[in-house]
Amino acid sequence: MVTAIPQDYRNRPVAVVGAGTLGRRIALMFATRGGQVNITDPNAEQGEQGVVYAMGELPAVAARVDGGTAGTVGYVRDQAEAVQDAWLVVEAVPEKLELKKQIFAQLEQDCPADAIISSNSSSYASRLFTEDLRTNDRMLNTHFYMPPAAITLDVMSDGHTAPEVIDFVLRTFPEYGLRPFHCRKESTGFIFNRIWAALKRESLEVVYAGVSVPEDVDAMFSMNFGTKAGPFRMMDQVGLDVVLDIEEHYAQENPQLPEGPRILLREYIADGKLGVKSGAGFYDDYPKPS
């Protein structure tokens, strides 16, 4: 059986489920070809903020995309309405497995039969929430990093994804200024995040063990690798609660991982230090949230 791939996709909307930090950025990228992108989120305020961000950034980002033309990003509160004619639906909700299972089950019912349904999950293989669904041959991971600054993404099968769907994604996403990389075997953390997890975890362990402090680790990292930010500054940007959720998931799969990194993260979170979004994390020089 040949799995249906989206027909007439340039004249159909993209839908993004979740208007958080990454959801709104994913929406931004798919609006660079002159089309419509629907953001859906039960939190109307967050949904509207996502639209404001995407539309504000869109003209400049579309100008950088080959053949780009600014489209439209809108907020649609009702998920079924947001996805009803979409050729692509990207789930970008918090890293909660049960939540993702619920959303994918509902999307299977509400999406057009030829729509691709993907997850932006940063740590869960989509197999974990698609394995009991009837049409999991059109479902997969498309894990984005931080567009538009980082245009790379991991593309990984859920174990049943049809090859023609993988090929379609790898061929089509570059039209929107993105650079997909095929993860050729199931891997917790995909490609880059698996490598980043090891760097992040050991950085946390060095500080937890009292060997160094975040500022010195970051300074050495930046000087040695020529980066603008080190691991602790980058974790602050992601959000320490998110980093902890991901580390907890890795630890469930591999109980041999050191506990020190998770203990250190919990200490900061208990003090209300979540990173940039709370005004303080490993660093305290961020604007205070209004």
Mean pLDDT for the stretch of residues 187-201: 92
* 72 HSE (CA, 13 A, CB side): 7
- What is the model's pTM? 0.85
Where b means 16+ CB within 10 Å and e means fewer, 170-207 reads: eebbebbbbebeebeeeebbbbbbeebbeebbebbbbb
DSSP labels for 218-283?
HHHHHHHHT-SS-HHHHHHHH-HHHHHHHHHHHHHH-TTS-SHHHHHHHHHHHTT--BGGGTBSS-
Q: Of 219, 238, 240, 245, which Cα lies nearest the Cα of 230? A: 219
φ, ψ (nearest 5 deg) of residue 142: -125, 90
Whether the Cβ atoms of residue 115 and residue 138 lie closer than 8 Å to each other: yes
Q: 266-285: per-residue pLDDT in tens?
A: 999 999 999 999 999 999 99
Q: Which domains does the chain have, with CATH numbers?
A: 9-183 (3.40.50.720), 192-278 (1.10.1040.10)
Q: 8-49: per-residue pLDDT in tens?
A: 999 999 999 999 999 999 999 999 999 999 999 999 999 999
